[in-house]
Amino acid sequence: MRKALYNILLVFIFSFTISPLLGAANTTLSERVETEEVTVQDQQQHGDEEPVYPEEEAHHAPPGWTVIPFVVLLLMIATGPLFYEHFWHKNYPKVAIALAAMVVLYYLFVLHNTHGPVHALAEYVQFIALLASLYIASGGIMIDIDKRSTPVANVILLLVGAVISNLVGTTGASMLLIRPFIRLNKTRIRAYHIIFFIFIVSNVGGSLTPIGDPPLFLGFLKGVPFFWTMEHNLFPWIFALILLLITFYIFDKRNKSNYGLSDEEITYTNKIKLIGIRNFFWLAVVIGSVFLDPNVLDWVPAIEYDGQKFSFLREIIMFSVAFFSYKFANKNAIAGNEFSFEPIREVAFIFIGIFGTMMPALELVGGFAASPEGSKLISHNTLYWGTGMLSGFLDNAPTYINFLTAALASQGGSINTITDVIAFAEGGTFYDSVLDLKAISIAAVFFGALTYIGNGPNFMVKSIAEQIGIKMPSFFGYIIRFSIPFLLPLLILVWLVFFAFV
């Protein structure tokens, strides 16, 4: 356990120390990029139909083959646990870091582009700070539901989890409820229990508030009004949840398993026991610190780089919560949850690889979408499927930002101008903009459940289930057995009902 904690701390230290160094090394390039961005914005504001981008910018665009490390990483995540399990579990940190390093070094020394790596690093630090603090703080809260597992009880718990996701985030709700959900079903647990938990609690549930899912929070930071998601995502949320819960109920109704039961009948008290209440305070600190963003609140200290402010106070608070919430946690709750650092260690290293290697993929997709050829293809339908499919295989937060950037750029707006983002969300200024933003928002959240890596909590829930001893499907098994037959038809129905004919 100590070794795992040390590994995580090393990742955190590396993340904080390298960012200022990279920023200092690129002062000249930063000034040139800022000048170029101002030139483009000035051209847009003066009514140029097709802004002229500096030729030097194209020089720094990554070639298509640079997505190979990302593809290799995805394939190894998918095949490692199946075909070379011992090698993978022993060496996945080295593989993830090596592949990420290849791309980062190419950006730094061949493309002479530190903008991409620094932004990816900042996003990774924000990502892992939130996940680690919520995971460790919730690990000190033990919810023991001493009731007989029934399909109705499971549906109620999943629905409660979907609602809570909008208050503490999909990560917070997942970490808080996955262990009680597993304990409730300890005599009949199957892989589908965990998969539908990922569908409902870890993804679709958090569609109604910016706190609910990282993509929506990034949109809020850029200028999307706080209650916009509640107003526009409510009916797709209800529609998707009803269909998912009905499907789960049918599955669960047919499950007659009684694993581990003796001949003697078990007596249930029908009580819910809560141990480690003090850790709810730590969870509240994490959620509160989420809003300490220097791009929203001027008084929050920040690292300034490339004309943008990067938060560090928020992340220090979150890492501090991770440390103190574990140090002062109720030991009975820790033991009862069979708490281990291995799931967060696995997520930390795997996503170093993902954030490092996915830079070229995101840049190439975003660049095409913002080009004259790509902008002609942009509509609420293409935004839904484009944002969605990439959210399933890339992290859905940067995918959301890339497609929102492209949608704004296609109509002469800028993601970095808060008035443009507000106007895009409210409608009336940009054509079809409310429906475009709704398509991006719903797709980023819903399609995040398409694979284990679409959203941060997915992989963590999988790791916790496997740590407890539940046999989970492989990367491809998840897609073939669950995503394609159950989630994809739902996503098609959501598109047909809310977007296709609007």
On whether residue 214 sits in a domain, the answer given is: yes
If pLDDT is split at 50, 70 and 90, which confidence band does 11 have? very low
On whether residue 243 sits in a domain, the answer given is: yes
> Can you give the three-state secondary structure of 3-50, one letter per residue?
HHHHHHHHHHHHHHHHHHHHHHHCHHHHHHHHHHHHHHHHHHHCCCCC
Mean pLDDT (the chain, rounded) = 83
Mean pLDDT (whole number) for 75-99? 88
pLDDT for position 247: 96
pLDDT for position 120: 87
pLDDT digits (tens, 9 = 90+) for 297-314: 889 999 988 777 888 999
On whether residue 190 sits in a domain, the answer given is: yes
On whether residue 267 sits in a domain, the answer given is: no
Q: Which two tokens stand for residue 405?
A: 């950037």
On whether residue 266 sits in a domain, the answer given is: no
Most confident of 8-12, 34-38, 254-258, 291-295: 291-295
pLDDT for position 80: 83
Question: How many domains does the chain contain in total?
Answer: 1
pLDDT for position 60: 65
On whether residue 403 sits in a domain, the answer given is: yes
On whether residue 133 sits in a domain, the answer given is: yes
On whether residue 265 sits in a domain, the answer given is: no
pLDDT for position 259: 60
Q: How far is CA 387 from CA 31, 129, 166, 217, 441, in A?
A: 31, 25, 21, 16, 9
Answer with the residue of higher pLDDT: 14 or 455: 455
Answer with the residue of higher pLDDT: 383 or 347: 383
> Can you give the three-state secondary structure of 210-276, one letter per residue?
CCCCHHHHHHHHHCCCCCHHHHHHHHHHHHHHHHHHHHHHHHHHCCCCCCCCCCCCCCCCCEEEEEC
> Can you give the three-state secondary structure of 375-436, one letter per residue?
HCCCCHHHHHHHHHHHHHHCCHHHHHHHHHHHHHHCCCCCCCCHHHHHHHHHCCCCCCHHHH
Quick one: CA dihedral 244, 202, 418, 375, positive or negative? negative
Answer whether residue 399 shows pLDDT above 90: no
Answer whether residue 53 shows pLDDT above 90: no
The domain containing residue 184 runs over which residues? 2-259+272-500
If pLDDT is split at 50, 70 and 90, which confidence band does 337 have? confident
> Can you give the three-state secondary structure of 475-496, one letter per residue?
HHHHHHHHHHHHHHHHHHHHHH
Answer with the residue of higher pLDDT: 161 or 58: 161
pLDDT digits (tens, 9 = 90+) for 222-272: 889 889 999 999 999 999 999 999 999 999 999 877 665 444 567 777 788
